[in-house]
Amino acid sequence: MEEPKQKSENIRMATILKNLSDFNNNEIPSAEDYHFGIVVSEWNSTITNALLEGVLETLVKAGAKDHQITIKAVPGTFELPYGAQHLFETQQIDAVICLGCVIQGETRHFDFICDATANGIMRVSLDYSAPVIFGVLTTDTMQQAMDRSGGKHGNKGVEAAVTALKMLNL
């Protein structure tokens, strides 16, 4: 019984002591030549709006202009894959960043939403041969979500933007 608890604590230690959004700006590729789509969930908007701010700040610092960024809102995290697909079909987009937040509740709904969203985002990326970035927080508590959306562990939105830039520069 002690071993699973220890393993769980070790996994948590991977994020507990550092800001995961701390990047060397010299290692972030330029955004100047690309057009970005951002699909953001309206559910848990306090968190997703903070993620969006992180994405926008990072893309602008990397050289993106307003006309290179298209933002679309969807009702919830489950709808992110369709939003990404819609952007590829209706806009000139090089990469899509999907932003959402699912917080564990008392039912298995969390598991179904997280699994379907991850698989859907991957499918859109493969179908369109383009980066579709999983900027979705899947946390146990609201506090964990706040810590990862501009709090003590950084901003997953920053990480998602950097990932998009690195994937575009493969």
List the catalytic residues: 109
Assess contact for 44 and 101: CB atoms under 8 A. yes
Paired sense of beta strands 149-151 and 154-155, if any: antiparallel
Question: Do residues 137 and 101 make contact, with C-beta atoms less than 8 angstroms apart?
Answer: yes
Report residue 82 CA to chain centroid gap: 15
Give the whole-angstrom CA distance, residue 59 versus residue 165.
8
The secondary structure element, H or E, covering residue 102 is strand 95-103
Give just the sign of the alpha carbon dihedral 107, 108, 110, 116.
negative
Q: Which of 48, 44, 94, 106 is nearest to 70 (CA)?
A: 94
108 phi, psi to nearest 5 deg: -80, 0
